Amino acid sequence: MPSDEVEPSYAPDGNSFVFVSNKTGVKTPQIYRYNFATQGIKRISRGGYATSPSFSPDGKQIAFLNGRNASIMNLSGSVIHNIGNTGIDEAPHFSPVVVALGVPLVVSFAILFGQKVQIKVN
C-alpha cells in the first residue's frame, strides 16, 4: 500500500531527520526517524495521531502534535511532556536561543488567532 512521507525536520547534528508517514493507515500518521549512516528508518511515535515533528536545538527531544495536543518526546518515542491542547492544528517548535543562554528549553506555539504562547520545559 502506498504511503505519504511529509514534514521533515533535520537533526541539528545532520545525521538524521524525522518525518511523518501514514504507513500504518491514513487516519493514524506516525513519526519516523531516518538515519543517514545506516539508511535505516525507525518508527519513534507510539500510536495515536502524531504529526509536525520538530527537533530541539540540542537534538535530544522532539516537539510534535499528538492529536491537537502539543507534546514533547525523547528520541525513543516516550512522551516526556504533554503541554496541552493548542486549540488549533498549530505545530509546536523549540526556541533556538535557549541552548546558547543555558536556560530551560522553551516551546512556542500559536493557540488562537496567531497569539504566541511560551512554556518553559525543564
The predicted pLDDT at position 33 comes to 96
Q: What is the CATH number of the domain that holds 117?
A: 2.120.10.30
pTM over 0.85: no
Least trusted range by pLDDT, from 1-15, 73-87, 108-122: 108-122
Question: pLDDT-based confidence at 107, cuts 50/70/90?
Answer: low
| Domains contained in the chain, number | 1
Question: What is the mean pLDDT of the segment spanning 1-10?
Answer: 86
Question: What is the mean pLDDT of the segment spanning 24-33?
Answer: 87
Question: What is the domain extent for residue 73?
Answer: 5-121
**Three cell numbers at 120?**
518553559
* Half-sphere exposure of residue 4: CA atoms within 13 angstroms, side-chain side: 9
Question: pLDDT-based confidence at 110, cuts 50/70/90?
Answer: very low
* Half-sphere exposure of residue 119: CA atoms within 13 angstroms, side-chain side: 18
